[in-house]
Structures are given as structure tokens and as C-alpha cells.
Structure 1
Amino acid sequence: MTHEAGWAHAPGALRGPSWLRPPSDPNDLVPLLWSATATKVEGDLVVGGVSMSDLVAEHASPAYVLDEADFRARAGAFRDAFNDYDVYYAGKAFLCTEVVRWVKDEGLCLDVCSPGELLVALRADFDPARIGYHGNNKTVPELERAVEAGVGRIVLDSFAEIERLAEVAAQAGTTQGVMIRVTAGVEAHTHEYIATAHEDQKFGFSITSGDALEAVRRVLAAPGLDLLGLHSHIGSQIFDSSGFEVAARRVLALHARVSAELSVVMPEMDLGGGFGIAYTTQDDPSEPSRLAAEMTEIVAHECRALQVDPPRLSIEPGRAIVGPAMCTVYTVGTVKPVALDGGAVRTYVSVDGGMSDNIRTALYDADYSCTLAARRSDAPPVLARVVGKHCEAGDIVVRDEFLPGDVEPGDLLAVPGTGAYCRSMASNYNHSLRPPVIAVRDGAARVVVRRETEDDLLATDVGA
């Protein structure tokens, strides 16, 4: 299909999203989307010095590939940029025992939000005093477990939880450090499911309604609770500091009001985070150093205006550490050109995974990129849709991407930016087996989470 103005102007051409442009060479990597060690060697994708062809030959596909050097570098970048802050790694993004050890090595704190995440952290001998515990509906048993473990701070999310934790602390004969999660009424520019600071959602106490101040009063009245400060989180996949400016103003105003009216100086404040990463060329994430400078100035400015001393600050980078550090490698099973109205043709490339290992495309309408991972092609690019093997029309991995026109069964495809929420949200849908996580560094690959087996799949089925 040719046209003097380009492929998109040809009769029957299928047009992708406005931001997606046909590449001059579909074999090339876009560095912004990949971990730092990812490169192509004669068409073979190499990550951490390990060839994806060799990795799949040994471990099969699909597989998550975790670039250890990249993970550590990103963790260190946030630690160094926010050197006067406590930086909390988001366990919910991706967690396993080995990753907890990396987090500990790099001097970060750890955020967990379930008994399972706490279990993994303690298994890796992570200092519980450096753990924060989130969640909007923590049960008595999990609060007891957190208190017994010595978790440094529990982030309170409801009046019922204040009473619940106060009773647990009293029974344990201890004082538990807590923060109060507040909603600042900020509409973050992100998907509605991951925007968390507006009023109409399940997290936190509203500042505008007065619930946040009442929560402060109730915590102060509970002898077994030590109020460390306020916690605010405006959402996830946030690219700049503009939303934090409004949130910080409102949260610091409440911080100052507590000091003035209740004569209590809270020593800490958590600004949240949820910093974004580049999934495609339309994304433009900020560097940690820029975010740190801007957020620090925002807080300093507001504290000067309110005439209060700045509290010790915490942030939670979210996906920004592990997200770009991982890719997923698949094997192509079928390639199916599908004729559409107007004479256009969409090329469906089916791989051996799908929504069971990456639900984000179906759940959030998320965009991803991909590349041919085991050979170089001289074929011109075609607009393709990469789909999974599950019994769902919405089982899409990459909605739109240019791939070489000769992509065929047996080829390897790799999708970057899958470190956050892909393995952690993976499922056994269609009774599929969840893929392994393979850490790569300096030419060596090691399994840090093994592939599930059929025995694993049947282990909880008591019908036999």
C-alpha cells in the first residue's frame, strides 16, 4: 500500500492513535520506554547482558524480565534526589523476597497494604520500623499482626479503623505510630480508577467536610496511638508536581490548624507520589531531581506563608521504580490479518500470554509498546494489535504498535514497562499459569519468582 503523502493517506489505510507515528526502522528501541541496560544486538533484544532468545530457550515464555541494575539505579535516584525525605517503595507495584532485599540495600522504606505483602517483607528481614501499612479496610487480625511485627506507621483510613487499632494497641500494651490519610479534593489528571484525592472515592478523610480534623481529634484522644502526621495521595501515573501544589496547600493548612487549635505539632507528613513512567512516546515523566526540587519548594513556600516549621516529609514513588525496570517477553502464536470496513486491514498478532499476565490494557485502557525481540527484519512496518490467548475480545496486550510486516508465528515479542501492577495483578484466568519473574544482571539470569505449575493450580482445589 503506497501513497505519495505516506501510508496513512492511502485508500483503506488503518490509522492508529494521533501520537503514534510509523518508525523509520521498526527494529529500533525507544530508550525512554526501556530499562537502562536494554539494547538490540543484531535484532536480538538483550537486557542485563542476557539475550531474550537464550532466556526463552531456557525458561520458556511468557516471562517477566527484571533488570536488577535498572531497578537499583531508579531506587537510588529517588533516594538521592529526596535525600531529606523518607522514600517508600510501593510493595503493591511488585513485590517478592529478592526485591525487598534490593529495597533494603538501597536505603528505602517500604509501603505494604496487605498481610501477604507484610509477610514477604518480614521474610526478607526488612526492618518493620521502616514499613508503612496502608489499606481502607484493615481487619482486626491484620492490625494485630502489624502491631505485633512492630510496623513503624499504620495509615488510618476510617473512624472505625481508629477505634479498631486503638483497641488492638491497648490489648498489646503498646503505642502504635499512625498517620491519617486525608483527601485534599484534587482532581489528578489520570485514569479515574487511579485518581485518589478527589472527594467521591473510598480512601481517606475529607478535609473540606471536617472529617479529617475530627479524625485527628479522635486519634489524639486514643492513648495507644501516636499521631505522626497527615498522609495525602493524589493518584497514580502523575507526570509533574502541579497537582501536589494544591494538595500540599490544603494539607499543610490542616497541619497548621491542628497546631494552632489543638496545640499539637505533628512531626511528619506524607505527600504521596504515584509518579508516572513512559509506556509510549506520548508519555513524558519528570526526573526525580526535578520532582524533588519542585515539591520541596512547594512545601517550603506554604510553610512560610503559614508560619509553621516544615515537617519531615515522605513520598511514595509508586510504579516509577519498578515499572520501567521490567519487560515481558512472549512468543507469537498466530498472525491474522482482519479486513475492516473501507478496505482497511488490522493485523492481529496473538501471543502466549494476555490479560492474565497484564490486565492493565483491559482494566485501564492502558497503552503499551512492543518490539520484535529475537531477530532483525527488513520488512516495512505495519500497524498491528497484539492480543492474548484468553477467551475475551478485550484480551489486548498492545492496542496499537508498528511491527515489521513479516512478523510470524514463533517470533518473540517484548513489551516494556511491565514492572508495575502486571505480575502483582496477574491471575489464573482460564486456569492459566502465572509466568516467572527472572532477574537479569551482568549477563546472568536467575529466577526470583518461579513459573506456576499444574500442581500449583490444583493445590487449592479440594474436589478430588
Structure 2
Amino acid sequence: MSRFAHPAGDRHAEMLPQERPPLAPADLNRINPAIWPRTSTRVEGTLTVGGVDVRDLARDHGTPLYVLDEDDVRSRMRDYATAFAGSEVHYAGKAFLCKEIVRWLQEEGLGLDVASAGELAVALSVGFPAERITMHGNNKSTAELGKALEAGVGHIVVDSYDEIARLGYLAEQQGKRPKVMVRVTTGVEAHTHEFIATAHDDQKFGLSLSTGAAAEAVRRILALPQLELLGLHSHIGSQIVDTAGFEVAARRLASLLVQIKEEHGVVLPELDLGGGYGIAYVDGDEAPDIKELADSLQEIVAKVCTGAGLPVPRLTVEPGRTIVGPGGITLYEVGTIKDVEGLRTYVSIDGGMSDNLRTALYGAEYTAALVSRGSEAEPMLSRLVGKHCESGDIIVRDFHLPADLAPGDLIAVASTGAYCRSLANNYNYLPRPAVVAVSGGVSRVIVQGETEDDLLRGQL
């Protein structure tokens, strides 16, 4: 088993909250540096991030509020650029994308993956170099492909026979010759939730290796002089902390590279193993060290390709969650507190599944804490819930908060930088919260929060 292995089922959540070791009041004030942003500290019990007191953030910007530690996010970008020197690092924009994130990527020297014309528009709006952009998507429209060609994106990852024909026609019409990769479904089983496992055959992404669909896609691309085939792409899933799956995927991709060489006399120079690397959300979670991850993946590619008699291709990786996830928190105000005797206390906050859909969507787990003050009160078993008209509107299913919790207190949920704002919605007509970056004791809005006027705009 890989040194990064995280065996399926080995999670503390399988133990009932009442069965876990008892907590002391001091445990509730502890900030685990593996889960909270790198600049997080407790000052007289109050959380500060980027040198900014969360009480000031709530006062100045309101709640709910997404808070992003700029120094944390930038440092992780630099960690990837250093660890994967000689390879390509493309940030997966679906994790969280806005103009300011794109500026940080450009300044830190990373590339960018987009999955829609909208994400492409965000990148281009601030002058991000199109040649450092890769376009993904299982159902790219003619309009989206046309915009990608017009912009001159560096790579387009084709996902179907229809797309190959569509892209070839558009390329001929525009007089372009885009660089493409084939997304290959390798059949690797990732130990993650069904909804974020992406390499088994029975799902919407990619072209199957086992059925020969991927090899046929290669034939069709090579038959079109309008397209330049550069390599193969694979993505096995998300929130993965075990490199063993990547090794299996790389071996299977290498077998296809050998087949392509033997059948067509073509040696493809690039291999993209995707991303999906996990982060720590709760105590006990593991997360791979970036340098060790880079060394392992680069060694895997070199070993399997050399063993197959192939030159070592240029490796690309696509981290998203591991760059932006740990540096984000979501700040809420407590509204009502309801004790269900003999079970737990329900703590309702002023947001919910409209700003964090992940718990309801696929049972995500989080760490949360009282952050506007310290407390010496005994721990009480709690469930953090939102204000939506859904019983499944849960942010943190079972955890402990101080028994003296009161309305008006501030609760922060850690590791929410990835996928929370990206999946945010207006259920029950709640406006989506603002995103604030903090650094050096200063906060600044990088995505404005919505208002009721925004919700009504466009209605006739």
C-alpha cells in the first residue's frame, strides 16, 4: 500500500459521537494546523486569520462570509510549482475561481484548467495567457469550443467521438490547429464517494480504455489534420490520498501509449494524471505532503514509461482542492439553539446548504468551532444546521461546541475554500455570500456578496 494510503472505512466518523474519547473544554479552543489556514491563531480565545480578527470580519462584511487566507493559498501554489519543477501544474478552476485567484495563479507561475466558457471568460478577463489554459468538459458546446479556439487555449481535452468531429470542423472553419488530449477512462477504482470517483467505465467522463473507445478516439484524431494530438489525460476521482491508484492508471495509460506507437508510429509527448488530491477536513484525516506526492508521481511515470520502452512524457497535474481548500473558512452567526434531550443540540446558523452543499450532496465532513471568544464550558454534542426548509440542511453532522454557546456567537467552519463557493446556490432565495481575502491584517472583498436586488434582477 502507498505511504499515502488512507484505507477505505478507516475514518473516525464511523464511531458514534457518544463513543469517542471525552473532550475537555480546552480541546474546543484548539486549532489543528493541518485543518485551519496557515496563518490562523487564537488571540484571547478569538480566531484571527491573516492577522484579522473574525469579529471584525463579521462586523465589516456580514455573515455568512467566505474568508480566504491569501498567504496560505499563494504558499500552496508555490509549493506545487517547486515540487513539480520540470512538470506542468494546472490549477483546477472548478474548485474555486474568481478574477483574483487567476491573478495569483499568473503571479505564482501556474497554469489553469477550465470546464466551461464562463470559467474561460474569467481567466481571459484579467489577461491570463491562453496558452497556459486547458479546456475540460464532457459536453463542450460548439460555442464553447469556438471560444476556446478563438482564444488559443493551450490544450483541449476531448471527451467523446462527437467532440472530435465537432472540434475538427470548427478548427477547419477558423483555420486553427488546436492541441488536444484524449481523456481516458482507465477503470481505476478510487477509494472515494461514488459522486466524485471518475475513472470507472459506468459514468459520463472520458473514453474507455477497456472497450477500445480510447484507442478509437486516437485513430479519429490522427485522421484529422486539423487536430494535433499531444497526449493522454486521466482523472481517477477527488479527495484521494493514496497514490496507488495513480500508479495503476499510469500503467494502463502507458499500455495505450505503446499501442499508439505500434499502430501509428506516433510517440505522444505528454501525460496528464489529473488531480483530486485530498486534504484534511477533520482530526485524523491524512493529506499527502506535496513534495513527497510530486516525487512519487514523477517516479511512477518515469518507471512505467521506461519499463514500456517509451520516452518519459512531460507530466501534468491538476490540483485544485489542495491549493485553495485549506486556506478557506466560512464564518457564520449563531441564530437559534435547540436542545433535543438525550440526542444532541441543534445549532442553527445564518447560512446552510446554499453556501455549503457538500455535506448534503455527498456526506462531506468538516471541523467547526466557536471563534468569537474562548470558553471553559463543558462540551455539548452538537449538529450545525442551516436555515433552509430541508431536514438535510446540515453543515456538520456531529461535533462538540461549548455548552455556554449563545445566539450571536460566531462559528467558523474550516477547510471550505474548495467547492463551497463554486457550488453555492440561491435555494430559498438566499443571496450568495461575499468572498474576502485576508493578509497582513487587512481584509478586502474579492467577490461581492449578492443582495435581494441581485436575486430579482432578470425576472419579468
TM-score normalised by the chain length of structure 1 = 0.94
Alignment partners' CA distance in 1, 2:101 and 2:118: 15
Q: Give the Cα–Cα distance (whole angstroms) in 2 for the partners of residues 122 and 416 of structure 1.
A: 31
Q: Which residue of structure 1 lines up, in the alignment, with residue 338 of structure 2?
A: 336
Q: What amino acid is aligned across from residue 266 of structure 2 in structure 1?
A: V
Change (3 A) 1:294 1:17: farther
Q: How far apart, CA to CA, are the structure 2 residues paired with 1:15 and 1:410?
A: 29
Alignment of 1:352-391 (within 5 A): 352-391=350-389
**Alignment partner of 1:327: what SS?**
strand
CA distance in 2 between counterparts of 1:459 and 1:72 reads: 35
Q: Which deviates more from structure 2 when the two are superposed, residues 15-24 or residues 315-324?
A: 15-24
In 2, distance between residues paired with 1:19 and 1:115? 47
Q: Residue 157 of structure 1 aligns with which residue? A: 159
Distance 2:170 2:447 in 1: 34
What SS is found at the alignment partner of 2:310? coil
TM superposition shift of 1:84: 1.4
- Alpha-carbon distance in structure 1 between the residues aligned to 2:304 and 2:173: 40
The C-alpha deviation readout for 1:164-186, integer Å capped at 9, x for no partner, is 00001000011011100001100
> What is the rounded CA distance, in whole Å, between the counterparts of 1:317 and 1:140 in structure 2?
27
Aligned-partner residue type, residue 170 of structure 1: E
Displacement of 1:282 in angstroms is 2.9
- CA gap of 1:247–1:330, structure 2 versus 1, over 3 A, is same
Cα separation, 2, equivalents of 1:126 and 1:458? 32
| Preserved CA contact (<8 Å) 1:240 1:285 | no
- 1:379–1:406 CA contact under 8 A, matched in 2: yes
- Cα displacement string for residues 367-423 of structure 1 (whole angstroms, at most 9, x for unaligned residues): 011011110111011111000000000000111111111111000000011011100
Matches within 5 A, 1:164-313: 164-313=166-315
List gaps (5 residues or longer) in structure 2.
1-14
Partner of 2:9: none
Tell me whether 1:428 sits opposite 2:430 in the alignment. no
Separation in 1, partners of 2:383, 2:255 = 48
Structure-2 change in CA distance of 1:285 and 1:250 (3 Å): same
Read off the aligned partner of 1:22 and give its amino acid letter: L
After superposition, give the CA deviation of every residue in 1:62-102 in whole Å (9 maximum; x if it has no partner). 00000000000011111111111110101110000011000
1:452 pairs with 2:453: no
State the shift of 1:345 in Å: 2.9
Paired with 1:370 and 1:55, the residues of 2 have a C-alpha distance of: 17
Write the mapping of 1:314-325 to structure 2, written as runs, cut at 5 A: 314-325=316-327
Partners of 2:272 and 2:46 in 1: how far apart?
43
1:395 aligned partner: 393
Cα RMSD of the aligned pairs, angstroms, is 1.2
Worse-superposed segment, 251-260 or 123-132: 251-260
Structure 1 residues 102 and 19, CA gap change in structure 2 (3 angstroms): farther
Q: Give the superposition deviation at 1:25.
A: 2.4
Q: Given residue 219 of structure 2, which amino acid in structure 1 is its aligned partner?
A: R
1-side partners of 2:278 and 2:383: how far apart? 24
Q: Which residue is 1:6 aligned to?
A: none
- Measured in 1, the distance between the counterparts of 2:246 and 2:100 equals 32
C-alpha distance in structure 2 between counterparts of 1:248 and 1:19, whole Å: 40
Question: Shift of the alpha carbon at 1:18?
Answer: 6.4
Q: Quote the offset at 1:318 in angstroms.
A: 2.3
In structure 1, distance between residues paired with 2:299 and 2:83 = 13
CA distance in 2, matches of 1:362, 1:20: 27
Q: How far apart are residue 253 of structure 1 and its match? A: 1.1
Q: Which residue of 2 aligns with 1:4?
A: none
Shift of 1:232: 0.5
Matched residues, number: 445
Of 14-23 and 37-46, more deviation after overlay is shown by 14-23
2:99 to 76, 97, 100: 97
Of 24-33 and 121-130, more deviation after overlay is shown by: 24-33
Give the residue type in structure 2 aligned to 1:50. Answer: V
Q: By how many angstroms is 1:22 displaced? A: 2.7
Q: Report what 1:27 is aligned to.
A: 29
What corresponds to 1:51 in structure 2? 53
> Residues 194 and 127 from structure 1, CA distance in 2 versus in 1: closer, same or farther, beyond 3 angstroms?
same
Aligned partners of 1:63 and 1:328 also within 8 Å? yes
The DSSP-based 3-state class of the residue aligned with 2:282 is coil
TM-score (structure 2 length as normaliser):
0.95
